[in-house]
Structure 1
Amino acid sequence: MIFRNILQFLPAYATLTFAAQTPLDDPYNSPPLLPKSESSELLSLHRKLVEHESITGNEEGVGKWLTSYLESKKFTVKLQEVTSKRYNLLAYGSKKKTSILVTSHIDTVPPFWPYYYNETSDVIGGRGSVDAKASVAAQIIAVQGLEGKLLDDISLLFVVGEETGGDGMKHFSSLINDPDSPSAHTYDVVIFGEPTEGKLVCGHKGMLGFTVKVKGKAAHSGYPWLGVSANDVLVEALGRLLVLRDNLPWSEKYGNTTMNIGKVQGGVAANVVAETAEARIAVRLAAATPKIVQGMVLDALEDVKSSVEKLGGTLEIEWSGEGYPPIDIDCDIESFEKLTVNYGTDVPNLKGDHKRYLYGPGSIFVAHSDHEALKKKDLEQAVLDFRRLIVETSEMHHQEHLEM
């Protein structure tokens, strides 16, 4: 009975391809996953999204185009200004307050790489082709293919700023969770889109970012004892952090906590004792909390901090926000393969008591690279998978309400 109820929301063709398919690698021998017209619409939408450069901070162009596209498909689109000329897009059909929210992000990392499609190899590439415009395009086409009450109970949200701290999703969350806001509304199910290799994610690591800033005293390099080298102090501090890195919390589910020294800079010239230096560091938490790891970092650098202060310098740690612990995500849909991932998402930035799912086409291993790309069949399969995920989570939520 439940399966029959699910199928009633799907067009006739979708019932024929409801189960996940594994097409052959040869695109010429692969069975079609979508009707020709829907596949053409998907590829056109994906191409337009990728062709619009939307590096974080410059999302206005793609946002305007996507607004026009969604409105042409009879969606109501509400823009939410996050900062000047940067807007989240919230789209819905006949009902403003829905039970299900389907969301991804429209910003990308730099630099911009142009769109390409190699029909012989079936490969589609360009900046954002995977992360996360593949999810955006597949989500939209998946929702458009639904019918009846289920279609009316879905909202689409496409946010800015995911790649640099999630200011778009945080802004949206502040609106819907503020009881005094006209946008206040609680969703029962939220489906997030990120590159997950077509699998359902059961959780991802937490995040803690910080910068070690050192200030010393400039001097001529021929007389280094007259100064305090910020570079020397920073190198010593980083050495302590490398030792700490091998002793950070771990878990069976997420593995080891990792620490990446991402950017180091200091000094002005080889013949000048460096007055300032800093290093930016990202920690991916597999266990514990940001507060616990913050304490470990402070303990590791305590002696270095005391030493440089005695010489008249300073060592400060600037935390990049509060961070967040490992994030467990719902993955109770049996028909999907499962995995955990090491990267961060907007999942923790949307506060509230809702079921949350994370899925998307393409691999994180090519995201943020100069060879970011995915296969056409994976993009098409994502349409079927998003649609299946929407239907099954909706049916599950409905059953839970009946049993309460």
Structure 2
Amino acid sequence: MLPADPTDVPVLRLTGDVVALARDLCDIPSVSGDEATIADAVEAALRPYEHLEVTRNAHAVVARTVQGRAQRVVVAGHLDTVPIADNLPVRIVGEGIHRELWGRGTVDMKAGVAVQLALAAELVAPSRDITWIFYDNEEVASERNGLGRLVREAPELVQGDFAVLCEPTAAGIEGGCNGTLRVHVRVPGVAAHSARAWIGVNAIHGASEVLRRLADYEPRSIEVEGLVYREGMNAVGIRGGLAGNVIPDECVVTVNFRFAPSRTPEEALEHVLELFDGFEVTVDDLAAGARPGLDAPMAVEFADAVLGLTGGVPAPKYGWTDVARFAELGIPAVNFGPGDPLLAHKDDERCPAYQIEVCHAALLAWLAA
């Protein structure tokens, strides 16, 4: 990879106002697949700090302390966002406790990345060695995920005793995550001229049975290690039709199944195949969930320290996050970051400034103790 022209790299100031840093990060567009500029900015901001070893892998940046501590904590966050919806640059709305950052990435998850960057600069001599990971392509298919690429290409950079994903949790702790399965359900038909429709078979009409099964489906709520995960089965896309005067010979419904971490990926796929028995089903994406793991010693210590400042009790993570990737490596991991996950990916995405400050203070207190 050619080095970026320094004059083209946005400047990120890691010391000072963490809320301003979050705004600056959000104002660098970084839709999945277009993270080069923000990765350049993050790398350039971290390189001057002598207590950090900085490594670049494609559009992922890893910064590590190597101070011989007894334990290593991994703190990770992704740099990419879903597509912009006329919601950049960021606006600041309200004052005081009601101040909010409005715009793409404020929730998912550049406010969390701002907390990471500020702490990476600030924690010169932490109580544990820390690995800060900033990675690309989290919002797309799992085979493109930058953290997954690090696991394959540089596994030594992701090793640790405990991990924190700064995904949005409204400054609470969310344990584990649901798995995700995306499939294409194909409905066949027979093409014909629409003026002679009776000699064809309309595949789009045939898709009504797929949609009926989805409408009748009752998702389960499943308790796993004391946390209740809600599953979901939904159509997220449909395509069919060749021209305005042709009976379509194929219709494909794309279905996303979010499954509790008590199910294996194989069990999740079997469940979907049973639901759509009689149709051709092909897998587009599949990623396992992660059990909460909140009984791990470092997870207990983390929860005691953080919730003592933020309040509340641990909750389940309904979406998929890379805690699942750490779970596969045998590393206990939790989700903890600013922003309401219910606002992730919405056009009116917004994050309270105080949650950014609270998450920064809580992680600082724990990692410096």
| Counterpart residue number, 2:335 | 358
Counterpart in the other structure of 2:137? 161
**How far, CA to CA, are the matches of 2:202 and 2:104 in structure 1?**
40
Q: Which of 103, 114, 121 is the matching residue for 1:144?
A: 121
- Structure 1 letter corresponding to 2:292: D
Displacement of 1:276: 2.1
- 1:295-326 deviation line (CA, Å, top 9, x unaligned): 233233333x3xxxxxxxxxx21212343145
TM-score by length of 1: 0.75
Q: How many residues align?
A: 332
Contact 1:100-1:154 at 8 Å conserved across structures:
yes
| Residue equivalent to 1:89 | 61
* Equivalent position of 1:254 in the other structure: 228
Residue 311 (structure 2) pairs with residue 346 (structure 1): no
2:209 to 236, 247, 255: 236
Matched, 1:188 2:165: no
**Structure 2 gap segments, 5+ residues each:** 1-12
Identity, % of aligned pairs?
A: 24
Instruction: Give 3-state SS (helix, strand or coil) of 1:161's partner.
Output: coil
Equivalent pair of 2:176/2:289 in contact (CA under 8 Å): no
2:365 aligned partner, one-letter code: R
Q: Secondary structure at the match of 1:260?
A: strand
Local SS of the residue matching 1:263:
strand
Q: CA deviation at 1:290?
A: 2.9
The answer for the alignment partner of 1:308 in structure 2 is none
After superposition, the C-alpha distances for 1:265-294 in whole angstroms (9 at most, x for unaligned) are: 211345421122111111111343332232
Structure 1 residues 96 and 320: CA distance shift in structure 2, 3 A? farther
Return closer, same or farther for 1:224/1:95 CA change in 2, 3 Å cut-off.
farther
Deviation of the 1:119 alpha carbon:
5.6
Q: Is the 8 Å Cα contact of residues 214 and 234 (structure 2) preserved in structure 1?
A: no
Structure number with bigger Rg: 1
TM-score (norm 2): 0.81
- 1:278 maps to 252
Quick check: 140-149 or 89-98, which moved more? Answer: 89-98
Change (3 A) 1:203 1:391: farther
Q: Is 1:289 aligned to residue 264 of structure 2?
A: yes
Contact 1:139 1:386 in 2 (8 A): no
Q: Which residue of 2 aligns with 1:319?
A: 283
How many angstroms apart in 1 are the aligned matches of 2:213 and 2:242?
24
Cα-to-partner distance string for 1:197-242 (whole Å, 9 max, x where unaligned):
1111123222211111234221122322322222122222232343
Aligned partner of residue 63 in structure 1, secondary structure: helix
- Change in 2 beyond 3 A, CA 1:242/1:96: farther
3-state DSSP class of the match of 2:238?
A: strand
| Change in 2 beyond 3 A, CA 1:322/1:124 | closer
The answer (yes or no) to whether the contact 1:63–1:89 under 8 Å persists in 2 is yes
Distance 1:355 1:297 in 2: 29
- Check the 8 A contact 2:176/2:324 in 1, yes or no: no
